[in-house]
């Protein structure tokens, strides 16, 4: 027999429940989502961000300041000052010892933990709660000015809440957020934790950061006078990505643990797939096999087939090469039936959050499964000929009402260097 113990916040007492060993075996441990939190260009709460995404509104704006005046790209997805002031959450002395990305992660984590109603105080619950939060690229200005803030920043969340389970920090370029969620999913599935706080954060918009990606010829440069049109995934006029900043945090939980304490369940993680391109420093493999391997492995891990999937939340960053290869990979995966699967990218609204992209978009995928609404791909004015057989959810949200079964989606996330991740996310059903 195994003793499962948790603190039930709703009733203000500790509840215990005995479960048979088979009920919590690795193969049977289901991982559900009980909390969501977000700080992003499209909103600094889950409700606000989701409303903005469904509205098809872009939050991309002009970069102001003399440091940006001579750069080829002068647009980005920034968190508006009237939406969020980190000074309202932390004292001046605290802010001196943490990077901005760390502050954003802490703010998003509070919303997620509040939503999950998970604030354990007993030793056992704290020991069974872990943290997996990553950062794709640190603010280069921090490197130049002070690296002490980042030295003290990575483990702040586990210290703040006293979580003593797995303490994991991922940095896999633009796949960081998805890898963090996937690794947390496995920690719970394999019994290393009962609850994981996971996601990623990014706050690297600066003249130096923009200049670096400009040198790589990766950013959009033709829409400086029309910022809201600059990020345009899949569109024929796409020319590069737009940098964004923010954080999204998910609280994952073992199903029986969540049920015992009466937690609200908003979704479920069914599978996780990873792959490597082994090809090029920045460009994905032209044949799309890296993306294909990640998606097919996520399906295999979830014991599903492509016919079970109704939606793919694409990585599509608005680059000419990357978007085309991902679209080709999706069409290959669904083998002639891609027209029945909805595919969209929300990056047109918030830009590319680099290491925090996969987790922010996973959060939107969770909400799509929960609410039955497909987020649109905005700025999709001309669909390329090779993608015209696909439902790219152009410019307006669509209802998602599967004819049978549950709503199940794939979330793709691909990073420079050829590191790929895919999450299989579903609405929760008993």
What is the set of active-site residues? Answer: 174
β-strands 311-313, 246-254 pairing: unpaired
Residue environment code for 175-206, b if the CB has 16+ CB neighbours within 10 A, otherwise e: bbbbbbbbbbbbbbbeeebbbbbbbbbbbbbb
Residue environment code for 303-327, b if the CB has 16+ CB neighbours within 10 A, otherwise e: ebebebbbbbbbbbbbbeebbbbbb
Q: Are 344 and 337 in contact (CB under 8 A)?
A: no
d(CA 327, CA 321): 10
**Who contacts 196 (Cβ-Cβ below 8 Å, separation ≥6)?**
129, 130, 131, 132, 165, 166, 184, 185, 187, 188, 251, 252, 253
Tokens at 108, concatenated: 């998003």
Tokens at 87, concatenated: 């000074």
d(CA 48, CA 86): 18
d(CA 389, CA 327): 11
Tokens at 124, concatenated: 């056992």
Please report the beta strands in 63-173, taking only residues with DSSP state E, as ranges in sequence order. Answer: 75-76, 129-134, 167-168
Helix (H, G, I), strand (E, B) or coil at 400: coil
Distance between first and last Cα of the chain: 23
């Amino acid at each position: 027999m195994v003793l499962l113990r948790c603190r039930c916040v709703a009733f203000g007492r500790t509840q215990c429940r005995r479960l048979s060993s088979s009920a919590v075996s690795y193969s049977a441990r289901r991982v559900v989502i009980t909390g969501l939190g977000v700080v992003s260009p499209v909103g600094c709460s889950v409700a606000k961000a989701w409303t903005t995404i469904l509205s098809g509104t872009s939050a991309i704006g002009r970069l102001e300041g003399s440091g940006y005046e001579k750069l080829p790209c002068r647009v980005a997805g920034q968190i508006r000052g009237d939406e969020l002031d980190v000074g309202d959450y932390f004292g001046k002395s605290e802010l001196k010892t943490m990077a901005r990305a760390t502050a954003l992660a802490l703010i998003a984590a509070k919303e997620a933990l509040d939503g999950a109603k998970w604030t354990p105080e007993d030793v056992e619950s704290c020991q069974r709660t872990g943290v997996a939060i990553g950062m794709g690229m640190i603010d280069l200005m921090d490197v130049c000015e002070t690296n002490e803030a980042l030295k003290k920043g990575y483990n702040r969340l586990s210290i703040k809440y006293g979580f003593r389970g797995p303490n994991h920090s991922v940095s896999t370029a633009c796949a960081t957020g998805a890898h963090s969620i996937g690794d947390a999913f496995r920690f719970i599935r394999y019994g290393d934790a009962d609850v994981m706080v996971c996601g990623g954060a990014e706050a690297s918009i600066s003249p130096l950061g923009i200049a670096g990606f400009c040198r790589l010829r990766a950013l959009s440069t033709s829409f400086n006078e029309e910022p809201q049109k600059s990020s345009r995934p899949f569109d024929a006029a796409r020319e590069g990505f737009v940098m964004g900043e923010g954080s999204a945090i998910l609280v994952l939980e073992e199903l029986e643990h969540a049920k015992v304490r009466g937690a609200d369940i908003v979704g479920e993680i069914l599978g996780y797939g990873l792959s490597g391109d082994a090809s090029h420093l920045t460009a994905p493999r032209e044949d799309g096999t890296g993306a294909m391997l990640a998606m097919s492995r996520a399906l295999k891990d979830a014991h599903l087939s492509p016919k079970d999937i109704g939606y793919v939340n694409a990585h599509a960053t608005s680059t000419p090469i990357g978007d085309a290869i991902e679209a080709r990979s999706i069409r290959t995966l669904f083998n002639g039936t891609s027209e029945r699967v909805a595919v969209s990218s929300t990056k047109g609204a918030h830009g590319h959050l680099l290491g925090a992209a996969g987790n922010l978009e996973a959060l939107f995928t969770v909400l799509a499964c929960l609410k039955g609404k497909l987020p649109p791909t905005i700025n999709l004015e001309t669909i390329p000929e090779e993608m015209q057989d696909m439902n790219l959810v152009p410019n307006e949200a669509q209802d998602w009402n599967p004819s049978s079964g549950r709503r199940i989606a794939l979330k793709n996330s691909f990073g420079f260097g050829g590191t790929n991740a895919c999450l299989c996310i579903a609405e929760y059903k008993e």
